[in-house]
Amino acid sequence: MTVLFELRGAVGLITLNRPDKMNAFNKPLLAAWREALEKCERDPAIRTVVITGAGKAFCSGGDIDEMAARIDAPADEQKAYLWDNVYPVARAIRDLSKPVIAAVNGAATGAGMDMALWCDLRVAAESARFAETYVKIGLVPGDGGAYLLPKLVGIGKALELLWTGAPLTAQQALELGIVNKVFPDAEMLEAAVAFAAKLAQGPAMAMGLIKRAAYQSLILDHRTHLDLISSHFGTVAQSAEHREGVNAFLEKRAPKF
């Protein structure tokens, strides 16, 4: 199986499973990855999602054998491959109404780094490495790197990384704000799942709307954002979760979301 799925309490754990290929994605892996994400969206028992890789890599991007097979394909077919296979996974990660954490256990390069950037949060093993390697094979960032990276590190640093393909250590990625937390290799996955489990204890509706509002704020003006968030506020203020939160506060106890 190219993708493994495991339920750990309220956390859906998705593992990319082509360790002999550094979890480079091909069509079967992309289809299975998208299916796992859709399962996580549909199942209300799953409150948060962790994505990691089997073996020594998180994901090394697109499978070079598939890329070589498409080398002579016309531009419209190259575009269609991304649009029909790669982008549905990226959109599913970003559109998931639940927190998604990339648990980067090794190399995250090219589109593998981009997929990690599509996730809401990133934790990394100390040995993890990040690199936007497209330029080294004469390509532009095909999975959103040129869109995502400037938002995290600023345009100047993003262009440096995109133009050079230079690798970053986990600690460097942490200092740049690409990674939220770094853990020893042997502890990273369990720490990521524990972090996800803690988030899973929060109010699902409010957290989903916070995620939506935060991403939409990147493209909205202030007034439009306030109009949007007031609608979200009105909706969530009528929820059972809000009522429970207020009652718990008044009763001086932990809420049961």
Mean pLDDT by 10 residues, the chain (257 residues): 97 98 96 98 98 97 88 92 96 97 97 98 98 96 96 98 98 98 98 98 96 95 96 95 94 93
pLDDT given at position 67: 85
Beta bridge partners of 109: 131
CB atoms within 10 A of CB 127: 15
pLDDT given at position 65: 87
Please answer whether residues 71 and 129 qualify as being in contact, where contact means their C-beta atoms are separated by less than 8 angstroms. no
Please answer whether residues 106 and 46 qualify as being in contact, where contact means their C-beta atoms are separated by less than 8 angstroms. no
**Residue 234 in tokens:** 């009105």
> What is the DSSP annotation of 25-83?
B-HHHHHHHHHHHHHHHH-TT--EEEEEESTTEEE--B-HHHHHHTTT--HHHHHHHII
Burial category of 23 from C-beta neighbours within 10 Å (exposed 0-12, middle 13-18, buried 19 and up): buried
**Residue 245 in tokens:** 């939160």
